Structure 1
Amino acid sequence: MKRIGLFGGTFNPIHFGHLRSAAEVRTRFMLDKVCFIPSALPPHKIPSGIADANDRLEMTQIAIKGYPEFFLSDVELNRQGPSYTIDTVKHFQSNQTEPVIFFLILGLDAFLEIDTWKSFKELFRVIPFIVMTRPGFKYGGIKDKFAVISDYLKTKISDGYIFSNEDSGYIHKIYQPVYILDVTPIDISSTNIRMLIEKKEPVSFLMPQEVELFIKNKGLYI
């Protein structure tokens, strides 16, 4: 059975941190492919400062070109209204011609807000999670990421989640597993890249050169 990771985000813009994390997740969880899914209108982000959806789609396509283990989906751009993860997951699960197990890939910050998402408990019923964390994690003064995740799952999702060393994550009798993976800490963020571009400072080596040229040619983030 094929194993595919679904990696959504604004990718505003996409950078090496996104690519490196996706590569590490694919290797660790033996995924056949990772699908990058730029969001059209993310319900949790303020639209100002977000590049046009088609530009973000093209930047993502440019960034993953040459990496056969990555592919791109414009499913959220073709859907009217805000981008809801539950709708995207159901789209992929219902449009397969062969058996596939999907995994939802997201960072820890996003995961700890998932109780604000549309139909969030249904997500835990239909797809396993891969939560990316970084060594040296600190959240609300707490350094133990497992304590933070465990408390979140028990208070917001279900107290039936139990940590399994063998599975490197949390398992449940009814809900899907929540796997945890430390990814290489790369101090790059889309926010900082946009700030550098606005101040006309160099962004070389933070993203693929072709993406940098696309941003310059389109006059984005200035």
Structure 2
Amino acid sequence: MKQVGLFFGTFNPIHIGHLIIANHLVEFSDLDEVWFVITPQSPFKVKQSLLDNNHRFQMVYEAVQDYPRLKPSTIEFDLPQPNYTSDTLAHLEDKYGPDYAFSLIMGEDNLKSFHKWKNYEAILEQYSIHVYPRISTGEMAHQFEDHPKITKVSAPIMEISSTFIRKAHNQGKNIRPMLPEPVWKYMDEMNFYR
């Protein structure tokens, strides 16, 4: 059975922090692969600042080409909007069946609001969650502190954000070191976030 970690996000754009965390998980956990699930619309984010789905897919595709255990996923592109993780998980189970075991990957900051997610109790009953550290959040959300399905991962702490990259790029700052080289090239050629 293939163990797949699902790393959900808008990836607007994908950056080296995302890659470092995903690669850490395939190298230092029981995960065989990490899928970057590109979300067309998060229920918690405003859509107007998002690039088109296909452009964000292309950047993820470019970013993971040299990492065979990291994959881009468009699974949410054809699902009803906004996307809810519980619905996506049900769709993945239908599509891939018993040969795949899915788990979630999220930062400590997302775990703090996890109790607001649609069907979060059902998600926790059926799926494991790998939680990576964030500086700004302090302790893990206490209601999930010792939950048997939640594993705190000692991944490198990455405080790079797509929001910061977009704003800095728009201000003419050099953000190239924060992006995988092919992502930078694509973003620069397409003149995104200026």
- Superposed pair shares fold, TM > 0.5: yes
**Matches of 2:180 and 2:27, distance apart in 1:** 21
Residue 152 of structure 1 corresponds to which residue in structure 2?
143
Structure whose alpha-carbon radius of gyration is higher: 1
**CA shift digits 1:106-151 (9 cap, x unpaired):** 11111111122212211112211111114xx453xxx4x2xx43x2
Give the structure with the higher percent helix: 2
**CA shift digits 1:138-165 (9 cap, x unpaired):** 53xxx4x2xx43x233xxxxxxxx73xx
Say what the alpha-carbon RMSD is for the aligned residues.
1.6
**CA shift digits 1:5-46 (9 cap, x unpaired):** 111101010000000001111222221111111101111001
Residue 191 of structure 2 corresponds to which residue in structure 1?
219
Post-superposition shift, 1:206?
0.5
Q: Name the SS of the counterpart of 1:40 in structure 2.
A: coil
Instruction: Name the TM-score, length of structure 2 as normaliser.
Output: 0.93
Residue 208 of structure 1 corresponds to which residue in structure 2?
180
Residue 157 of structure 1 corresponds to which residue in structure 2?
none
Contact 1:49-1:221 at 8 Å conserved across structures: no
Residue 150 of structure 2 corresponds to which residue in structure 1?
178
Contact 1:132-1:183 at 8 Å conserved across structures: yes
Instruction: Name the TM-score, length of structure 1 as normaliser.
Output: 0.81
Alignment-mate amino acid for residue 22 of structure 1:
A
Aligned-pair identity in percent equals: 28
Alignment-mate amino acid for residue 152 of structure 1:
Q
Post-superposition shift, 1:98?
5.0
Contact 1:104-1:129 at 8 Å conserved across structures: yes
**Matches of 1:41 and 1:138, distance apart in 2:** 24
Question: 1:1-222 maps to which residues of 2 (within 5 A)?
Answer: 1-96=1-96, 99-134=99-134, 137-139=135-137, 143=138, 145=139, 148-149=140-141, 151-153=142-144, 163=146, 170-171=147-148, 177-222=149-194
**Change beyond 3 A, Cα 1:138–1:186:** closer
Aligned pairs, how many?
194
Contact 1:4-1:101 at 8 Å conserved across structures: yes
In structure 1, list runs of 5 or more residues that go unmatched. 154-161, 164-169, 172-176
Q: Name the SS of the counterpart of 1:131 in structure 2.
A: strand
